[in-house]
Chains A and B, each alone.
Chain A
Amino acid sequence: KNQVEQSPQSLIILEGKNCTLQCNYTVSPFSNLRWYKQDTGRGPVSLTIMTFSENTKSNGRYTATLDADTKQSSLHITASQLSDSASYICVVTLTGGGNKLTFGTGTQLKVEL
C-alpha cells in the first residue's frame, strides 16, 4: 500500500527558533512531492513542489529537501513566526498524474512566544 508518513505528529517551538519536519514515503513510482501549509479552518496552501530530480526547493523561510533514493523529504522552517502555527502536509504523486496524490496526515506545528 502506498503511504506517506510524517513526523513528528505535533511540535511546539518558541518564536524565532528553527525546526525540521519529516516525511517518509513508499509511493512508487514517484513523480513529485509537495509540501502544503494548512491553517486551522482553512484550505491547504502550496509551499513547494519538487520533482524526483530536485534535491531542494526554497520558498522564503521554508526550505524543502528531497532524497529520492531513501524516499525521505524534510521541510525546514527558519526563524519561526507565530503565523507559522499550522498543519504541514506532505503530498506525494505517483507517476501518471491525474488523481494519484497521496496525502500524509500532517505535522501540527505551534509557535509560541
Chain B
Amino acid sequence: GAGVSQSPSNKVTEKGKDVELRCDPISGHTALYWYRQRLGQGLEFLIYFQGNSAPDKSGLPSDRFSAERTGESVSTLTIQRTQQEDSAVYLCASSHTGGGNTGELFFGEGSRLTVL
C-alpha cells in the first residue's frame, strides 16, 4: 500500500477484555516495529520484527502482550486481560531495512486504545 495502515484507529474496551490491533506495513518492508505512546510521553519500544528472524520482544511490558507477523506482511499486537494502564496510542512502523541503519521508518497513524 501507499503507507503503513493500522486498524482500528480507535478502540474502547472494558478492563479485562482482550484486544487485537493490526498493522499493514508498506509492501516490501522487511522491518516492522510496534511502539506504545502514552499521553504526553515519548514512544516506548515494544517489539521488532526483521524478515524471518526471531522477533525482538524485549520491550513487551508483560506476558499479557504478544505480537505476531507472518513473513513480511501483516502484524497483529494482542493485549490480553487489558488494564487501565494499557490505555495509549499503539504505533506501528515499517522500514525497508533494519531501522537502525539509515533506513527511514514510516509510521502508521496509530491505534488509540482506551480501557475503561
Name A's B-contacting residues (CB within 8 A): 31-32, 34, 41-46, 49, 51, 89, 93-101, 103-106
Contact = CB atoms under 8 A, between A and B. Distances in A.
B107 A31 contact: no
Contacts of A105: 41-42
Interface of B: 4, 33, 35, 41-43, 45, 48, 50, 56, 58-59, 91, 93, 97-102, 104-110
A32 B102 contact: yes
Contacts of A93: 99-100
Contacts of B109: 41-43
Contacts, number: 66
Given A31-B101, A45-B107, A99-B59, 9 more contacts: A34-B105, A42-B109, A94-B100, A97-B99, A97-B101, A98-B50, A101-B45, A103-B43, A104-B42
A41 B104 CA distance: 21
If over half of B's interface residues share one DSSP class (helix, strand or loop), that class is named, otherwise mixed; here it is loop
Nearest to B110: A43
A49 B93 CA distance: 16
B56 A98 contact: yes
A100 B100 contact: yes
A95 to B, nearest CB: 8
Given A44-B107, A46-B105, A97 B100 contact: yes
A90 B43 CA distance: 11
